[in-house]
Structures are given as C-alpha cells and as structure tokens.
Structure 1
Amino acid sequence: MLIPALDLINGAVVRLKQGDFAQQTTFHDDPLPVAKAYADAGAKWLHIVDLDGARDTAKRQLQLIQQLANATSMQCQVGGGIRTRDDVQDLLNAGVARVVIGSTAVKQPQLVQQWLRDFGPEAIVIAIDVNIDPEGRPFVAIDGWRETSELTLTEVLEPLLEAGCRHVLCTDISRDGMLSGCNVALYKQLKEEYPQVAWQASGGVAGLDDLHQLQFVNCDAAILGKALLTGKFTLEEALACWPNA
C-alpha cells in the first residue's frame, strides 16, 4: 500500500523536521479537503498523526479524527499518545480502522500484548521509531523521539509478535521530514528477518525512485508525507508506480 499521511496540530496539516515541534511548517488550515483529494486520487488508507494528542492526551483531536475517518471511502490508521485501552477503544468507536501504538509498546509491552489479543492484530499497528547507531543497530526512540531507549528494534518487536502483531510502521528518525531518501537497507533487512510482518516504511521518501526501491526489497507499504505536501510528486504518480496500491 501507499498511505498518504496527515500530521495534525490544532486542526491544521503540518510537518515537523525530525519530530521537532520547534521546526514546524503548516501546509493547510483544513485537513478535510486534503483527505478528500487523496481519496479522489485513489488512496485506500490514510495515516493520521495527532500531534496535539501526542503531547497532551487531554487535547486529543477526536472530533476531527472522526470527521476524517468518515469523510471518504479511505480507511484510517491513527496514532499520537495512545496510552490506555480507552484511547484505543475511543478511536475505534470513532471509525478508525487501525490504532497506531508507539511508546506504550516499548514502556508497557505486556499491556500492548493484551490489546493485540483483545482487539485483534488487524486493529493495531505498532510504530517503532529508530535511531541508527554507528554500528548500524536500530535503537528504539520513545516519547516523541525525545529519548532513545536501550532497547533494539528486535527486543521490542519479538514479544509483540508472540501476541499476534501483524502490522509494524518503522521510521528511521534521521530521515523523517528530510526528503533525503528512504533507508532501504533497513527495510530490506527487516523484511528478510520478519517476512510475516506487514512493514510500513516511514521517513525520507523524496521521489518515485524511493518507492521503486522499497518495492524491490518487498516492503509492504510506504507512508507518504512531506513529499506529497511539497509537490515532489503527485499521489496519482506514486500509485501508478506501485501496482495494487
């Protein structure tokens, strides 16, 4: 799949550079026309990041998320500060198809394992955001990328696989919002080690060649954010080079 992304702050479509709220660019004041344009172009899924909810769960943009989830034929996956079972249930009740779990999967893996069992693997996406050390090891970042844990991607992922984890969104933080190209080698390695996982590549997509390279290494999906918003290519062009997207 190719999955266009909308990052939301105070109802507006924004992008952050490497997750830094001090480096914010606002692209659209209203995300609804953007979502409808993506649907009209042929997208089947929409990825929503509630950055307000990530910083303060009391400020979750649930009403807007519900509007987006029901405005088009696209299915939505939503992340940003998902910390409790009620957070998951509220989003599913709002019409979200998949809830994206990040830091909680690192900090409280047993809790997230239970959610995978209770809600089913198709309702949960595990987001694993990584910083690559000089030796090439991916260490998992948490709390909006403000902290890097001492856990590797493998150490976080394998207990969740035992609970049925199927969908994983992996971001190379160094590439996010940089339009510098994907870390194709990372996704190649992950797909070879865990072929049972449906991998979503996130961070750095800058051109159609990045999508061709991801396809070549059998990556299952790609998140398209800044490249679409800045006109590096159109969603129609991207879909044309990714069959069955």
Structure 2
Amino acid sequence: MLIPSIDLMGGRIVQLVQGEKLKLAFDDFEYWIDRFSGYSTVQLIDLDAAMRQGDNTVLIEKIASRLPCQVGGGIRTPERAQELLGAGAHRVIVGSVLFRHDSVDTEVAAAFSSAIGADQFVASIDTKGGKVAVKGWKEQVSLTPEEAIAQLDPYCGAYLYTHVDTEGTLRGFPVERAETLHGLTTRRLIVAGGIREQAEIDALDRIGVDAVAGMAVYTGLLAT
C-alpha cells in the first residue's frame, strides 16, 4: 500500500534529500489535501519539531483534522501524543525519545503504549549506515534496526523504518531490508527511503509491507 508523505518545514510542504538538502517546497496545502483525500493513511511529519528548531503545530492540526494521518516529528512525551490524537491524528510516530546510547528506553516505550495504546503507537526506526539515527538524523546510537525491533516489539503496533541512506534520492528502496525486518515481527511494517516507482510498492505489498513515498509523488513519478 502506498502512503503519501507530507513533510513540513518553515510552514511549507518540503522534500529533503537525506534529511539535509532542500529539494522541493510547496505552500498549496489545499491542493495536496485534496490529492491525498482518497488514501486510507497519509504520513504527516513536522521536520522542524524533529530537528528541534520550532514546530508547525497549526498546520499539523489543520491537516490531521482533514486527512487520516499518522503524525510524527519531535513527539517526546505521551502527553504530546495524546494531544495529536485529540487533534485528529489516527496514529502517532515516536522516534528519538525511544533510544538511549546503545539500547531502547523500554520505560519510555511502555509509557507511550500505556498512554495511547499499542495500536496508535508507531515506533520509528531510522537508520544510516546500518545504525539507528536520532534527533533529526543528526546523531546515531549503537543499535541496529534488528536490535531495536526486538526490544520495541512488546509496546508498539507498527514500525516505520526509514532508510536514510536513500531518503529523497529516488534511487530505490532496498526491498531485501524490508524482507529481513518483516520476518522479525508480526507488527505492521511501513518503510520509506528512495522509493521511485510502482513496481517497488507492488514488491513490498507482496511481502506485506507498506511504502511511504514523498519525492516520487511530488515529482510526478508516482501517480496519486
């Protein structure tokens, strides 16, 4: 299943290459809300909040009230997760706060699961060079995605795995990584990072994995 992504930065919809270089920017929100209205899930990410440089709360709440969104970016407390669910989000994506230097903070994971329920808790596992990346992908921890899944599995209902090495590049997503990770859990697995064509989405769908796409959607490579 294709999940289109809306990434927000500085009050605009943007697409970055590997979380750093600005490639595309739009401010025609009504157009994209209308384009994505037929999807069962839309991914909505506050990049400013993720990078600890402000937030786009007003836009997040506006879009989440109109589209079936899983919302992420800078969610650091169960209270904030509850606020977003109250504003219309269907699920929340939690990332950096779940990780210590070399392990998952299971107390934090348990707190989110208790506060919002596992079904509404998506654990974000972003990786660069095979290790988990945190704080807007600026830092890494000594943990592989396989190790992260093993520790997070009792608490969340789904995983969002982002392959940062190919994010925004349109070079294609490494489907074999999705196969490996899917085999480690019975939770829903959603992947992102470099997806450029429908054939990739179909291949992922065949193994039961959902695909997030942004750059390919906004450049017209993928029809929506």
Q: TM-score, with normalisation over the residues of structure 2? A: 0.92
Asked if 1:217 corresponds to 2:217, the answer is no
Q: CA deviation at 1:206?
A: 0.6
**Runs (5+) with no aligned partner, structure 1:** 133-137, 236-245
Partner of 1:122: 119
Contact 1:77 1:99 in 2 (8 A): yes
Aligned-pair Cα RMSD in Å: 1.5
Choose which of 63, 69, 85 in structure 1 pairs with 2:78.
Answer: 85
Q: Identity, % of aligned pairs? A: 31
Contact 1:62 1:91 in 2 (8 A): no
Q: CA deviation at 1:200?
A: 0.2
Q: CA deviation at 1:154?
A: 2.5
Question: Quick one: distance in 2 between partners of 1:36 and 1:122?
Answer: 27
Asked if 1:6 corresponds to 2:2, the answer is no
Choose which of 24, 41, 48 in structure 2 pairs with 1:52.
Answer: 48
Contact 2:128 2:163 in 1 (8 A): yes
Secondary structure, aligned partner of 1:26: strand
Question: Quick one: distance in 2 between partners of 1:147 and 1:82?
Answer: 17
Q: CA deviation at 1:126?
A: 0.6
Question: Quick one: distance in 1 between partners of 2:177 and 2:44?
Answer: 23
Question: Quick one: distance in 2 between partners of 1:55 and 1:193?
Answer: 30
Q: TM-score, with normalisation over the residues of structure 1? A: 0.84
Question: Quick one: distance in 2 between partners of 1:82 and 1:216?
Answer: 31
Asked if 1:63 corresponds to 2:58, the answer is yes
Asked if 1:113 corresponds to 2:110, the answer is yes
1:94-173 equivalence runs, <5 A: 94-107=87-100, 108-132=105-129, 138-163=130-155, 165-173=156-164
In structure 2, what residue type is equivalent to 1:222? A
